[in-house]
Amino acid sequence: MSFRTILPEQLDPLQTGALLTGGVGPRPIALASTRSPEGVRNLAPFSFFNAFGANPPMVAFAPNRRGRDGTVKHTYRNAVATGEFVIAAVSHAMVQQMNIASAEYPEGVDEFVKAGFTALPALRVKPDLVAESPFQMECRLHQALELGSGPGSGLLLVGEVLAFHAREDCFLGGALDPGRLDLVGRNGGSWYTRASGAALFELPKPSGCPIGYDALPAVIRASTILTGNDLGRLAHSAAPPAPGGAGRREGDPPDGAGLERAIQAALAAGDLAEAWRLVALRVRAE
Protein backbone atom coordinates (compact mmCIF):
# COMPACT_ATOMS: atom_id res chain seq x y z
CA MET A 1 0.00 0.00 0.00
CA SER A 2 1.38 3.39 -0.95
CA PHE A 3 0.61 6.81 0.49
CA ARG A 4 0.90 10.28 -0.97
CA THR A 5 2.78 12.53 1.42
CA ILE A 6 1.93 16.22 1.22
CA LEU A 7 3.69 18.91 3.25
CA PRO A 8 1.68 21.99 4.31
CA GLU A 9 4.34 24.34 2.98
CA GLN A 10 3.74 22.93 -0.50
CA LEU A 11 0.11 24.18 -0.49
CA ASP A 12 -1.67 27.50 -0.43
CA PRO A 13 -4.42 28.05 2.19
CA LEU A 14 -7.24 27.07 -0.17
CA GLN A 15 -5.51 23.80 -1.10
CA THR A 16 -4.78 23.06 2.55
CA GLY A 17 -8.40 23.72 3.46
CA ALA A 18 -9.61 21.37 0.73
CA LEU A 19 -7.30 18.63 2.00
CA LEU A 20 -8.40 19.08 5.61
CA THR A 21 -12.12 19.16 4.87
CA GLY A 22 -11.82 16.23 2.49
CA GLY A 23 -9.97 14.01 4.94
CA VAL A 24 -11.54 15.09 8.23
CA GLY A 25 -15.18 14.15 7.89
CA PRO A 26 -18.03 13.86 8.12
CA ARG A 27 -18.03 16.84 10.46
CA PRO A 28 -21.04 18.03 12.51
CA ILE A 29 -22.43 21.38 11.45
CA ALA A 30 -22.97 24.32 13.79
CA LEU A 31 -25.56 26.72 12.49
CA ALA A 32 -24.40 29.71 14.55
CA SER A 33 -26.83 32.45 15.50
CA THR A 34 -25.34 35.74 16.71
CA ARG A 35 -26.30 39.38 17.10
CA SER A 36 -24.16 42.43 16.51
CA PRO A 37 -23.77 44.95 19.36
CA GLU A 38 -26.46 46.95 17.56
CA GLY A 39 -28.83 43.97 17.62
CA VAL A 40 -28.59 42.91 13.95
CA ARG A 41 -29.12 39.15 13.55
CA ASN A 42 -26.65 36.90 11.74
CA LEU A 43 -26.89 33.19 10.96
CA ALA A 44 -24.19 31.06 9.31
CA PRO A 45 -23.11 27.37 9.26
CA PHE A 46 -19.64 26.13 10.27
CA SER A 47 -18.39 22.55 10.14
CA PHE A 48 -15.28 22.92 12.30
CA PHE A 49 -17.39 22.19 15.37
CA ASN A 50 -17.69 19.75 18.27
CA ALA A 51 -18.32 19.28 22.01
CA PHE A 52 -15.36 19.29 24.41
CA GLY A 53 -16.60 18.76 27.96
CA ALA A 54 -19.64 18.07 30.12
CA ASN A 55 -18.76 19.68 33.46
CA PRO A 56 -19.33 22.45 32.58
CA PRO A 57 -20.79 21.69 29.14
CA MET A 58 -18.44 23.21 26.56
CA VAL A 59 -18.61 23.39 22.78
CA ALA A 60 -16.38 25.06 20.23
CA PHE A 61 -16.59 26.04 16.60
CA ALA A 62 -14.27 27.88 14.23
CA PRO A 63 -15.54 30.71 12.00
CA ASN A 64 -12.07 30.91 10.45
CA ARG A 65 -10.57 33.72 8.40
CA ARG A 66 -11.49 33.49 4.75
CA GLY A 67 -8.96 31.53 2.72
CA ARG A 68 -8.84 33.94 -0.17
CA ASP A 69 -8.13 37.19 1.69
CA GLY A 70 -7.90 36.56 5.45
CA THR A 71 -10.92 38.67 6.34
CA VAL A 72 -12.93 37.93 9.49
CA LYS A 73 -16.54 36.75 9.31
CA HIS A 74 -19.54 38.50 10.88
CA THR A 75 -20.15 35.54 13.20
CA TYR A 76 -16.74 35.86 14.83
CA ARG A 77 -16.98 39.61 15.23
CA ASN A 78 -20.45 39.40 16.76
CA ALA A 79 -19.62 36.58 19.18
CA VAL A 80 -16.46 38.29 20.43
CA ALA A 81 -18.18 41.65 20.78
CA THR A 82 -21.25 40.37 22.64
CA GLY A 83 -19.93 37.21 24.31
CA GLU A 84 -22.95 35.16 23.22
CA PHE A 85 -24.05 32.76 20.49
CA VAL A 86 -26.51 29.96 19.78
CA ILE A 87 -25.52 26.71 18.09
CA ALA A 88 -28.30 24.97 16.15
CA ALA A 89 -27.80 21.44 14.84
CA VAL A 90 -28.66 20.93 11.18
CA SER A 91 -31.14 18.20 10.23
CA HIS A 92 -31.72 16.87 6.73
CA ALA A 93 -35.08 18.66 6.60
CA MET A 94 -33.33 22.04 6.70
CA VAL A 95 -30.21 21.50 4.55
CA GLN A 96 -31.40 23.64 1.67
CA GLN A 97 -32.14 26.55 3.99
CA MET A 98 -28.80 26.06 5.74
CA ASN A 99 -27.08 26.22 2.37
CA ILE A 100 -28.69 29.60 1.63
CA ALA A 101 -27.48 30.90 4.98
CA SER A 102 -23.91 29.92 4.05
CA ALA A 103 -23.77 32.58 1.31
CA GLU A 104 -21.59 35.62 2.01
CA TYR A 105 -24.22 38.33 2.35
CA PRO A 106 -23.17 41.91 3.05
CA GLU A 107 -23.06 43.09 6.64
CA GLY A 108 -26.49 43.88 8.01
CA VAL A 109 -28.36 41.25 5.98
CA ASP A 110 -30.54 38.97 8.14
CA GLU A 111 -29.94 35.34 7.08
CA PHE A 112 -33.01 34.23 9.05
CA VAL A 113 -35.06 36.11 6.47
CA LYS A 114 -32.96 35.15 3.45
CA ALA A 115 -33.01 31.42 4.32
CA GLY A 116 -36.63 31.37 5.52
CA PHE A 117 -35.79 30.26 9.06
CA THR A 118 -38.07 31.00 11.99
CA ALA A 119 -36.44 32.93 14.85
CA LEU A 120 -37.47 32.12 18.42
CA PRO A 121 -36.36 34.00 21.54
CA ALA A 122 -33.66 32.26 23.57
CA LEU A 123 -33.89 31.80 27.33
CA ARG A 124 -30.53 33.17 28.53
CA VAL A 125 -28.84 34.90 25.59
CA LYS A 126 -29.86 37.53 23.04
CA PRO A 127 -29.14 35.62 19.78
CA ASP A 128 -32.21 33.80 18.50
CA LEU A 129 -32.97 30.10 18.36
CA VAL A 130 -33.78 28.44 15.02
CA ALA A 131 -37.24 26.86 15.23
CA GLU A 132 -36.47 24.36 12.47
CA SER A 133 -33.47 22.85 14.30
CA PRO A 134 -34.12 19.73 16.45
CA PHE A 135 -31.28 20.44 18.92
CA GLN A 136 -29.83 23.76 20.05
CA MET A 137 -27.50 25.23 22.65
CA GLU A 138 -27.41 28.72 24.11
CA CYS A 139 -23.77 29.60 24.81
CA ARG A 140 -21.71 32.19 26.64
CA LEU A 141 -18.31 32.83 25.11
CA HIS A 142 -15.63 31.26 27.31
CA GLN A 143 -12.56 31.90 25.17
CA ALA A 144 -11.61 33.13 21.71
CA LEU A 145 -8.39 31.71 20.28
CA GLU A 146 -6.55 33.06 17.25
CA LEU A 147 -4.66 30.19 15.63
CA GLY A 148 -2.81 32.31 13.10
CA SER A 149 -3.22 35.59 11.31
CA GLY A 150 -3.12 34.88 7.58
CA PRO A 151 -5.75 33.70 5.08
CA GLY A 152 -7.45 30.49 6.18
CA SER A 153 -6.09 30.67 9.73
CA GLY A 154 -8.19 29.39 12.61
CA LEU A 155 -10.38 31.50 14.87
CA LEU A 156 -11.76 29.20 17.57
CA LEU A 157 -14.69 30.19 19.76
CA VAL A 158 -15.16 28.12 22.92
CA GLY A 159 -18.53 28.48 24.60
CA GLU A 160 -20.14 27.29 27.82
CA VAL A 161 -23.63 25.92 27.26
CA LEU A 162 -26.18 27.78 29.37
CA ALA A 163 -29.27 26.00 28.04
CA PHE A 164 -30.11 23.03 25.83
CA HIS A 165 -33.23 22.82 23.65
CA ALA A 166 -34.19 19.46 22.13
CA ARG A 167 -37.36 18.67 20.21
CA GLU A 168 -39.61 16.29 22.16
CA ASP A 169 -40.12 13.86 19.28
CA CYS A 170 -36.35 13.29 18.99
CA PHE A 171 -36.20 11.39 22.28
CA LEU A 172 -36.43 7.61 22.48
CA GLY A 173 -36.32 5.97 25.88
CA GLY A 174 -35.03 9.10 27.54
CA ALA A 175 -32.10 9.61 25.14
CA LEU A 176 -31.77 11.51 21.88
CA ASP A 177 -32.29 9.14 18.97
CA PRO A 178 -29.98 9.72 15.97
CA GLY A 179 -32.59 8.48 13.51
CA ARG A 180 -35.13 11.01 14.76
CA LEU A 181 -32.61 13.85 14.85
CA ASP A 182 -31.69 13.03 11.23
CA LEU A 183 -28.61 15.27 11.34
CA VAL A 184 -26.26 15.94 8.45
CA GLY A 185 -22.47 16.18 8.43
CA ARG A 186 -20.10 17.96 6.08
CA ASN A 187 -17.53 16.22 3.91
CA GLY A 188 -15.14 17.75 1.38
CA GLY A 189 -16.26 19.99 -1.44
CA SER A 190 -20.04 20.04 -1.85
CA TRP A 191 -20.58 16.64 -0.23
CA TYR A 192 -22.62 15.94 2.90
CA THR A 193 -23.50 12.85 4.92
CA ARG A 194 -26.96 12.06 6.31
CA ALA A 195 -26.68 10.41 9.73
CA SER A 196 -29.84 8.31 9.63
CA GLY A 197 -31.37 5.29 7.93
CA ALA A 198 -28.89 2.90 6.35
CA ALA A 199 -26.01 5.19 7.35
CA LEU A 200 -26.56 4.37 11.05
CA PHE A 201 -24.95 1.38 12.72
CA GLU A 202 -24.33 0.43 16.34
CA LEU A 203 -20.87 -0.37 17.70
CA PRO A 204 -21.01 -1.05 21.44
CA LYS A 205 -17.92 -0.15 23.43
CA PRO A 206 -15.91 -3.16 24.69
CA SER A 207 -16.92 -4.42 28.12
CA GLY A 208 -13.74 -5.24 29.97
CA CYS A 209 -10.63 -6.10 27.97
CA PRO A 210 -11.12 -7.80 24.57
CA ILE A 211 -8.60 -10.48 23.61
CA GLY A 212 -7.22 -8.24 20.84
CA TYR A 213 -5.66 -8.97 17.46
CA ASP A 214 -2.53 -10.46 19.01
CA ALA A 215 -4.56 -13.33 20.49
CA LEU A 216 -5.94 -14.42 17.11
CA PRO A 217 -4.33 -17.43 15.41
CA ALA A 218 -1.49 -16.44 13.07
CA VAL A 219 -3.17 -18.03 10.05
CA ILE A 220 -6.25 -15.90 10.65
CA ARG A 221 -4.24 -12.70 11.06
CA ALA A 222 -2.43 -13.47 7.79
CA SER A 223 -5.66 -14.00 5.81
CA THR A 224 -6.02 -12.11 2.54
CA ILE A 225 -9.79 -12.68 2.61
CA LEU A 226 -10.77 -11.60 6.12
CA THR A 227 -10.80 -7.82 6.46
CA GLY A 228 -9.61 -5.69 9.34
CA ASN A 229 -13.23 -5.35 10.47
CA ASP A 230 -13.68 -9.13 10.30
CA LEU A 231 -10.63 -9.65 12.49
CA GLY A 232 -11.84 -6.87 14.76
CA ARG A 233 -15.10 -8.72 15.43
CA LEU A 234 -13.12 -11.79 16.50
CA ALA A 235 -10.64 -9.74 18.50
CA HIS A 236 -13.53 -8.05 20.30
CA SER A 237 -14.33 -11.34 22.08
CA ALA A 238 -13.97 -11.32 25.85
CA ALA A 239 -11.99 -14.56 25.83
CA PRO A 240 -10.76 -17.04 23.23
CA PRO A 241 -12.93 -20.14 22.96
CA ALA A 242 -11.86 -23.28 24.74
CA PRO A 243 -9.61 -25.62 22.71
CA GLY A 244 -11.47 -28.20 20.70
CA GLY A 245 -15.08 -27.22 20.27
CA ALA A 246 -17.41 -28.38 17.54
CA GLY A 247 -15.85 -30.39 14.77
CA ARG A 248 -16.42 -30.43 11.05
CA ARG A 249 -20.01 -30.49 9.82
CA GLU A 250 -21.59 -31.52 6.55
CA GLY A 251 -21.32 -28.65 4.10
CA ASP A 252 -18.23 -27.08 5.64
CA PRO A 253 -15.80 -25.88 2.95
CA PRO A 254 -12.90 -28.29 2.43
CA ASP A 255 -10.12 -25.75 1.89
CA GLY A 256 -8.61 -22.82 3.78
CA ALA A 257 -9.91 -20.07 1.49
CA GLY A 258 -13.41 -21.52 1.63
CA LEU A 259 -13.27 -21.66 5.42
CA GLU A 260 -12.18 -18.06 5.58
CA ARG A 261 -15.09 -17.00 3.40
CA ALA A 262 -17.41 -19.01 5.65
CA ILE A 263 -15.94 -17.25 8.71
CA GLN A 264 -16.62 -13.94 6.99
CA ALA A 265 -20.21 -14.92 6.25
CA ALA A 266 -20.80 -16.02 9.85
CA LEU A 267 -19.46 -12.71 11.13
CA ALA A 268 -21.66 -10.78 8.71
CA ALA A 269 -24.65 -12.71 10.06
CA GLY A 270 -23.65 -11.89 13.62
CA ASP A 271 -23.00 -15.54 14.55
CA LEU A 272 -19.78 -15.22 16.52
CA ALA A 273 -19.94 -18.77 17.90
CA GLU A 274 -20.11 -20.22 14.38
CA ALA A 275 -17.29 -17.95 13.26
CA TRP A 276 -15.05 -19.24 16.05
CA ARG A 277 -15.98 -22.87 15.19
CA LEU A 278 -14.84 -22.25 11.64
CA VAL A 279 -11.69 -20.52 12.90
CA ALA A 280 -10.82 -23.72 14.77
CA LEU A 281 -11.31 -25.73 11.56
CA ARG A 282 -9.12 -23.27 9.65
CA VAL A 283 -6.35 -23.59 12.22
CA ARG A 284 -6.49 -27.39 12.08
CA ALA A 285 -6.37 -27.26 8.27
CA GLU A 286 -3.13 -25.29 8.31
Which domain range does residue 228 map to? 213-285
Let me know whether 98 and 129 are in one domain: yes
Checking if the pLDDT of 242 tops 80, the result is no
Give start and end residues of each alpha helix (H) in 50-177: 74-82, 95-101, 111-115
What's the domain count of the chain? 2
Q: Out of 170, 199, 228, pick the residue that ends a domain.
A: 199
Per-residue pLDDT reduced to its tens digit, 68-122: 888 999 999 999 999 999 999 999 999 999 999 999 999 999 999 999 999 999 9
Q: What is the mean pLDDT of residues 185-206?
A: 90
Query: Of 168, 199, 230, which marks where a domain is finished?
Result: 199
Same domain, 98 and 169: yes
pLDDT at 241 over 80: no
pLDDT of residue 240: 75
Q: Cα separation of 161 and 251, whole Å? A: 59
Residues 257 and 135 grouped into a single domain: no
The predicted pLDDT at position 246 comes to 66
Q: What's the pLDDT score for residue 204?
A: 84
Domain boundary among 199, 232, 262: 199
**Residue 32 pLDDT:** 98
Residues 122 and 264 in one domain: no
Q: Can you give the pTM of this predicted structure? A: 0.87
Sorted by sequence, the CB contacts under 8 Å of residue 148 that are 6+ apart come out as 65, 154
Same-domain status, 117 and 233: no
CATH of the domain at 97: 2.30.110.10
What pLDDT digit, counting tens, does each position of 91-104 carry?
999 999 999 999 99
Same domain, 98 and 173: yes
Beta bridge mates, 263: none
Tens of pLDDT along 144-165? 999 999 999 999 999 999 999 9
Q: Is 34 helix (H, G, I), strand (E, B) or coil?
A: strand
Asked if residue 52 lies in contact with residue 65, where contact means CB atoms within 8 angstroms, the answer is: no
208, part of any domain: no
pLDDT of residue 243: 64
